[in-house]
Amino acid sequence: MTTKGVAVVTGAGSGLGRDITLALAHAGWRVAAAGRRVATLEATAALAPAGSVLPAVADVTDPDSVASLFAVVGDQYGRLDLLVNNAGTGAPPGAVDEVSLAGWQSIVAVNLTGSFLCAHHAVRMMKAQDPRGGRIINNGSISAHTPRPGSVGYTATKHAITGLTKSISLDGRAYNIACGQIDIGNAATEMTELIAAGAVQADGSIMAEPTFDPRHAAAAVLYMAELPLDTNVQFLTITATAMPFIGRG
């Protein structure tokens, strides 16, 4: 199989991150699968073609850990063609008067600062390498558009990811760096198990919401990743068809 490029995927030990890693690996990419737990990363690698996935233990909230991750990628592969900023958390949930400062800071650290730190090192690599350039895909979520009840930390950081995406896209133009965002609604992962069982709606009612196979979201990321660098999907929204998003509330 022809190697298509080198990618870093964060949050790769489970859920969407695992599916994205496997979609890239099976398509011929070499992937550094980043996450906090070596056992889950090795489980992801075991599902991929032999030698295509490098388990890379990293904590996106730790600047030194992120720097080490990209140093390992540089040493191992010599370049970086794709970063998928997928790591994220919605915990702790709550309204603005319910979430503590520590809880708020923990969500910001993973969802926003973690994405910034990874993009910071990725762009530096992409500017310096030959041939120059690459692509960043940020996982925005439906909450980058419309909140669920009691999700102030998650919603605020995902709105901020949209600003990060736009800024990287603009600033990257001169360096052949493309940046886009995928907004995913109700992919069937561990994070959406409660949604499938019954989620609080804007009117206070509880309703089980439909989900969809997360491999479709991974295929969408692969489509975005494999475009030539003179073409970019700026924003892509993929949802369960009948989820309460259009007309939510």
pLDDT band at 207 (very low <50, low <70, confident <90, very high): very high
Average pLDDT for residues 35-64, to the nearest whole number?
Answer: 98
Which pLDDT score is estimated for 157? 98
Provide the pLDDT confidence category of residue 1 given band limits of 50, 70 and 90. low
Confidence of residue 190 (pLDDT cuts 50, 70, 90): confident
- Give the chain's mean pLDDT: 96
Residue 249 has pLDDT above 60, yes or no: no
How large is the average pLDDT for residues 182-208?
89
Residue 172: per-residue pLDDT: 98
* Strand residue runs (E) in the chain: 5-10, 29-35, 53-57, 82-85, 134-139, 177-185, 199-200, 206-207, 235-239
- The whole-angstrom separation of Cα 139 and Cα 137 is 7
Sign of the four-CA dihedral 178, 184, 187, 190: positive
Is pLDDT of 159 > 60? yes
What does the pLDDT look like over 230-247, one tens digit per residue?
A: 999 999 999 999 999 887
Q: Over 80: is that where the pLDDT of 89 sits?
A: yes
Note if 175 is an active site residue. no
Choice among 26-30, 136-140, 172-176, 196-200 with the minimum mean pLDDT: 196-200
Q: Is the dihedral of CA 99, 110, 226, 15 positive or negative?
A: negative
pLDDT at residue number 192: 78
**Amino acid sitting at position 22:** L
Question: How far apart are alpha carbons 183 and 43 in whole angstroms?
Answer: 26
Q: Average the pLDDT over each of 57-66, 214-223, 238-247 and give the range with the smallest value.
A: 238-247
Q: Which of 77, 154, 175, 223 is catalytic?
A: 154
Domains of the chain: 5-239 (3.40.50.720)
Q: What is the pLDDT of residues 93-118, one digit of tens each?
A: 999 999 999 999 999 999 999 999 99
State yes or no: cis peptide before 149, omega within 30 of 0: no
